[in-house]
Structure 1
Amino acid sequence: QLEAKAIPGTEGAIEPFFSPDGNWLGFFADGKLKKLSLRGGAPQVICDAQAGGGSWGLDETIVFGDFTTGMWRVPAAGGIPEQLAAPFLLLKEKPEQHLFWPQILPGEEWVLFTSFHLPENAHIEVLSLKSRERRSLIERGTQAKYLPTGHLVYAWSGDLLAAPFNLEKLEVTGSSFPVLEGVKTELSEAHFDISQNGTLVYVPGQVSRHVDELVWVDLKGRVDSLAIPPGNYLMPRLSPDGKQLVVTKFEERANLWICDLERSTWRRLTDGEGDEFWAIWTPDSKRVVFNSNRHGGPSLNLHWKRADGSGPEERLAESEAHQIPQAFLPDGKLVVFQEIRASTGLDIWKMQLEGERTPEPLIVTKSNEFHPIFSPDRHWLAYASDTPGRNEVFVRPYPGPGEIKQISTDGGWQPLWSPDGQKLYYRDLGGSRMMSVSFDTDPELTIGQPELLFEGEYRTPLAFGRGYDIAPDGNRFLMIKLASMPPAPTKFNIIINWFEELKRLIPTWK
């Protein structure tokens, strides 16, 4: 009988993978990619990362997927990651938001990976490490693994399927057939793995989907449920008057819904003609600004619509880059938003809503800058940036000039001001810790040390937008938590010499 033993130093670890020699274990924990020698010692931080799977190459580099920012390569010894592919391409034919579960293919020139927007449209591709060329291999599938037998094995809807694969031509050379049924699957992640010597391990079970719950969390971390049914929610935003809530719901396409908090009633704001994400309210609570590709192009641009549903959507800006609305000046005359460009990554832009509505760069550098939000007195702009080598929170005078001040000290993003402007909140990179920093400008600027406000398992932050909001009275936060977690696995099935069965079921020809 096999006995499982916990590996010291891997508390909270997910998405583990081995080095080619089997002496090191790579994994994600606390918002970082880490490694640990199986011969002993403490875990070592490689870089900041949100879990998306990893593959350790023979050249001692690691290719990993990041939940929020795409696919990257980093030296296994640590260093500055190099972006291989950016996420958040929303073409109507094949939308994608996440690039997960890479496998460096033999020859070390191509990477096999999964791309998806929703679990229903996950597909499998390869990417060239030299040219960044991408090729689509399988239209419906996830977590593909290339095996020495010349097969691709991948998961779909709780089953494992296999197809013959020509490694030299990077082509699937035959039809896919089921090879194993009943693999436990959550979202797009099936619980299985296959060793290079032919051992298959999997967790038996069915397909389950996570369900989100919107909750109030007070300043001490105490949780109170809303009278809102569980669902699949993204980026909740309270109207400035506190009476309504707008969220993104994932349906066939992503749509915006508004909830009347006094009556607990819902109505859809957008009509499903495009993907709509990342909504914010105008300061008077009368309109909602969001990004959408309803205009027919590949990019998500700024639109707005009256919150009561009357009148059509109106496009506010045109750009080849994705635009993600973030915040308004308190008078409602200027909106700040993020743009995503291949040359500079995430940048902060602004646009006056009176007159020509011409977007202007506000903070554009070779680093990523994101999550901007104005202080209630409009004199300060808080935002996150990876300039120091990891995501940290900063403030700068607005409109400037003036000195930029770093707020967080151990990683942070998604800043949010208290309504009185005397506190600046942010979340740690892992998403479980809410931090608080005092902010006083009278008689001169005084910034306190970060303090832990509370801890809890809430939806992981995203680089595209803030994953929580604060009530107008400043006494509680609106957050997203998992309403139900699938039960932990109680058994693993292990099949030795599974390659022989695979070759019998699906022969390959050289």
Structure 2
Amino acid sequence: APASLDRVVKKCLEKDPDARWHSAYDLHDELAWIAADSTSTTAVAAAASRPWRERAGWIVALAVAVLSSALWVLGSGSLGTPVASDAREMRLQIVTPPGASLVGFAISPDRRALVYQATTEGRTQLWIRSLDSDAARSLDGTEGASSAAPFWAPDGRSIGFFTTDQLKRIDLDGGLVRTLASASQARGGTWGTKGTILFAAGSAGSLNAVPAGGGNTVVVTRVERPRQTGHRFPHFLPDGRHFLFYSLGAPEGRGVYVGTLGSTDAQRLFDADSAAVVAGPDRVLFAKGGALWAQRLDLTKLRPVGEPVPVSTQVALNADLFGDVALSETAPGLIAYRAFAGTRQFRWFDRAGRQIGVIGGPDESQPAGPMLSADGRTVMFRRTLGGNTDIWSIEASRNVLRRLTTDAARDYDAIWSPGGDRIVFNSDRNGVLNLYEKSVSGGSASAETLLLETFEHKNTCDWSADGRFILYSVQSPTTGDDIWVLPLFGDRRPTPVAQTAAAEFSGRFSPDGRWVAYESDESGRSEIYVQTFPDLARKVQISTGGGSAPVWRGDGRELFFRSPDDRLMAARIASSGTQLDTDTPTALFALPAGPNRDGSASAPYGASRDGQRFLVNTFVEGASPITVLLNWKARH
């Protein structure tokens, strides 16, 4: 490292606090002097020309040293000391590995550690890193941790986290892991000062509470239908009795609410594009219009005070999960968030995992849910621009990008008609995810037609090859996620295909229309099943070690799916009547790094009709580092 930077690092890391920089102001001035010095600038430029791995060490070391020193200055050696009114704002960055979750991170209550979820070498778990170190260590026992953000106990000695279908806690002293509750499809959790954990499970339910030491789960909020459709992402206020949460629903019911333990009543505070997190002592942070905002709260009257003020012009939202934002609960004067969700691209891979082509260029708008047309010439997917999600398509041969929907509401999963001239998609333009149909033939898009409206959220899954049925999933408040079918003939009355207390979703018709493949967690983990259709007489389990996102080969002789360790699997299929024969699935290749694959019902890949090529949603560039904003003060 350049000598001047080396001196800064060593002084930041002095064991004696009196020998360190006396203030963030002094440190800032020293770094500014180094940046202005021509000799140092030349040295830095020369270092920048080296490979990333070679220069990453001293860059990370400097960032860690600066962050460590700045955090120490922020607390003036004591975590309880308030931020000095004349302290200067500083923005620092924490780099996480490429496989880290966009939203799955949290700063500890004492501001000295970071926990995050990441997948490395096919293994997904939690990692913890002290902010005065550039090294992270994995937390044994957290294997299978979901991408939902982990959350700290108020004393910083334990961490709550989710797996595919459970809420757990790990005690950092000793590493004991305990299961606290069932929690399929987690939608956030928070740990209060009075020993209660709040969490959301499923897309259409209320919030639940469980003692941090384990015990019975109780419902703590009431979804007021039809203006609300589900509660998620709770965050306790400092008193441990009141809490914030996000509600989906109609425009008049959507937004940030405050609730109280012991009562299922809640009060709407304001509209937002995301959940709100506590930034203390009386501020909450939230996303709106792609930016990060702060709102002051009167903690006695539990109502907003004044207008929100901007914090950052950009904050990353998880486009796969409404209300989810890359933002951590923090201490007064410190804000931690990601500004950028990364760059993605659809890439073709052969059965050996070799990249053999691309569709479209690198895209910063979180493209997701690729759906190939029957002729393989066009891929349809969703993109999110300025906080709004719409349906788009790309012609594979010419890379021509076309916008198919333009409504201000969120237009989500879309499926092709067999002829490729129509699409069906789900949208929350009436507050609930309903099904809409539109023509996309002739180079012009027609007006949308409401195809199916109920009080429950619905996600499109597939359109049968004969054009007679639409397969979709329902987010039921009583039975969770279920799979239903809508006939496009007769009385068009929907009927269930898979409806149990377990979660069933990601349904796909076989090419001959006689079977439905889907994902279910009835065994305690997500597995792939195939069921006869339309008589539902027989069901066969296909996966043996977990699975998600099933996709059929064009002739129905293979079924592909994603394994829990992110490999693309293939299972041979031979069927006759209601009989189906299959072999133990085999792994084709490890899926390349891509966006969150646990927060969406749509598959992150598509398969060519002959099953020889796979179009995978991959990262070109991962999410931005975590920005740590120190000494932030609202500007009225």
Q: TM-score, normalised by structure 1?
A: 0.77
- 2:295/2:305 contact within 8 Å kept: no
Cα distance in 1, alignment partners of residues 528 and 215 from structure 2? 21
Matches within 5 A, 1:197-236: 200-202=333-335, 207-231=339-363, 232=365, 233-236=367-370
Aligned-residue CA RMSD in angstroms?
A: 4.2
1:43-442 to 2 correspondences below 5 Å: 43=177, 53-57=188-192, 61-64=196-199, 73=208, 75=210, 76=212, 99-100=232-233, 102-105=234-237, 108-114=240-246, 124-128=256-260, 132-140=264-272, 144-146=276-278, 149=281, 151-154=282-285, 161=294, 163-167=296-300, 169-176=301-308, 185-187=315-317, 189=325, 193-195=329-331, 200-202=333-335, 207-231=339-363, 232=365, 233-251=367-385, 253-272=388-407, 275-292=410-427, 298-308=432-442, 309=444, 311-428=446-563, 432-441=566-575
With over 3 angstroms needed to count, the CA separation of the structure-2 counterparts of 1:130 and 1:384, relative to structure 1, is farther
Q: Structure 1 residue 239: deviation in Å?
A: 0.6
- Give the secondary structure class of the aligned counterpart of 1:208: coil
Give the distance between the partners of 1:366 and 1:170, measured in 2 at CA: 37
TM-score (norm 2): 0.63
The equivalences for 1:31-50 within 5 A come to 34-41=168-175, 43=177
1:446 Cα deviation from its structure 2 partner? 3.2
1:22: which partner in 2? Answer: 156
- Counterpart contact for 2:295–2:304, Cα < 8 Å: no
2-structure distance, mates of 1:191, 1:400: 47
Letter in 1 for 2:298: F
Cα distance change, pair 278–81 in 1 and its aligned pair in 2 (3 A): farther
Kindly tell me: are residues 474 and 81 of structure 1, through their superposed partners in 2, closer, same or farther at Cα, counting changes over 3 Å?
farther
Q: Secondary structure at the match of 1:226?
A: strand
Name stretches of at least 5 consecutive residues in structure 2 with no aligned partner.
1-12, 14-67, 69-131, 318-323
Q: Given that residues 426 and 436 in structure 1 are in contact (C-alpha distance below 8 angstroms), is that contact kept between their aligned partners in structure 2?
A: yes
Q: In the comparison of the two structures, how many residue pairs are matched?
A: 480
1:458 — aligned with what? 594
Judging changes above 3 Å, is the alpha-carbon distance between structure 1 residues 258 and 411 closer, same or farther for their aligned structure 2 residues? same
Contact 1:126 1:137 in 2 (8 A): yes
Instruction: Verify: 1:6 aligned to 2:140, yes or no.
Output: no
CA distance in 1, matches of 2:217, 2:555: 38
- Please state whether the residue corresponding to 2:360 is helix, strand or coil: coil
Q: Which structure would you say has the larger Rg? A: 2
Deviation of residue 426 (structure 1)? 1.9
Which secondary structure state, in structure 2, belongs to the residue aligned with residue 285 of structure 1?
coil
Summarize the Cα distance change of 1:227–1:323 in structure 2 as closer, same or farther, 3 Å threshold.
closer
Distance of 1:362 and 1:63 partners within structure 2: 32
Residues in 2 aligned to 1:159 and 1:327: alpha-carbon distance in whole angstroms: 36
How much has 1:213 moved relative to structure 2?
A: 1.5
Shift of 1:209: 4.2
AA paired with 1:166?
L
Q: Distance in 2 between matches of 1:115 and 1:230?
A: 33
- Quote the Cα distance in structure 1 between the aligned partners of 2:385 and 2:229: 15
- Tell me, in whole angstroms, the C-alpha distance in 1 between the residues paired with 2:477 and 2:187: 21
Over 3 Å counting, the alpha-carbon distance change for 1:402 and 1:105 in structure 2 is same
| Structure 1 residues 276 and 20, CA gap change in structure 2 (3 angstroms) | closer
Structure 1 stretch 416-425 or stretch 29-38: which is displaced more? 29-38
Supply the distance in 2 between the matched residues of 1:397 and 1:127 (Cα, whole angstroms): 45
Alpha-carbon distance in structure 2 between the residues aligned to 1:44 and 1:297: 37
Identity of aligned residues (%): 28
Q: State the Cα deviation string for residues 82-121 of structure 1 (Å, max 9, x = none).
A: 787899x998xxx999943x3223565543135689xxxx
CA shift, 1:269, in A, is: 2.5
Q: Structure 1 counterpart of 2:573, which letter?
A: F
> Which deviates more, 468-477 or 357-366?
357-366
Residue 99 (structure 2) aligns with: none
CA 1:161–1:345: 2 relative to 1, 3 Å: same
Output one character per residue of 1:278-317: Cα deviation in whole Å (capped at 9) or x when no partner. Answer: 11112222322223456x5744224232433365433333
**1:477 aligned onto 2:611:** no
Distance 1:338 1:128, change over 3 A: farther
1:361 CA displacement:
2.7
Return 366-375 or 223-232, whichever deviates more.
223-232
Further displaced range: 254-263 or 222-231: 222-231
User: Matched residue of 1:41: which SS?
Assistant: coil
Moved more, 69-78 or 479-488: 69-78
Q: As a proportion of its length, which structure holds more helix?
A: 2
Other structure's SS at 2:151 match: strand
Deviation at 1:77?
A: 6.0
Select between 339-348 and 443-452 the one with higher mean Cα deviation: 443-452
Read off the aligned partner of 1:321 and give its amino acid letter.
E
Opposite residue 172 of structure 1, the aligned amino acid is: P
Q: 1:73 to 1:268 in 2, by over 3 A?
A: same
